[in-house]
């Protein structure tokens, strides 16, 4: 949880996971574990206190994109367990709504 000028906000994250074709989760040898992870994704998110705003894939680029909301970074890293962790390289970026970032930047550069 973060606090901006007295307002409590949860944190938003954009996670990008990329894998090479030989580790593609659609390959026959990975299908059972992939299906388990995808089928359990919502339950896992709920148990970890994560709200999934979006989960997308770009099959031709072997890339997943997730828009997530949570009180902490630790729950986000726990969410990407099992095959999502072992078969992908990831980047998890904490993000702010544009207006919040603008408020922070403008306030920090305004004299006095």
Q: Which DSSP state fits 80?
A: S
Q: pTM, whole model, 2 decimals? A: 0.83
Q: Where are the domains of the chain?
A: 2-109
- How many CB atoms are closer than 10 A to CB 39? 10
Q: What is the CA radius of gyration of the chain?
A: 17
Residue owning tokens 């390289």 = 89
Model confidence over 23-70: pLDDT tens digits? 999 999 999 999 999 999 999 999 999 999 999 999 999 999 999 999
Class of the domain covering 2-109: alpha beta
CA 41 – CA 1 distance, rounded (Å): 22
**Does the pLDDT at position 3 exceed 90?**
no
CA 82 – CA 92 distance, rounded (Å): 16
């Amino acid at each position: 949880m973060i606090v901006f000028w007295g307002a409590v906000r949860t944190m938003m994250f954009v996670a990008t996971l990329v894998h090479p074709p030989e580790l593609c989760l659609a390959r026959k040898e990975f299908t059972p574990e992939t299906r388990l992870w995808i089928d359990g994704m919502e339950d896992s998110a709920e148990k970890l206190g994560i709200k999934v705003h979006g989960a997308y894939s770009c099959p031709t680029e072997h890339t997943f994109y997730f828009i997530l909301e949570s009180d902490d970074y630790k729950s986000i890293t726990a969410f990407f367990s099992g095959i999502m962790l072992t078969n992908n390289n990831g980047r998890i970026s904490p993000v702010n709504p544009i207006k919040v970032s603008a408020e922070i930047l403008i306030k920090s550069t305004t004299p006095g």
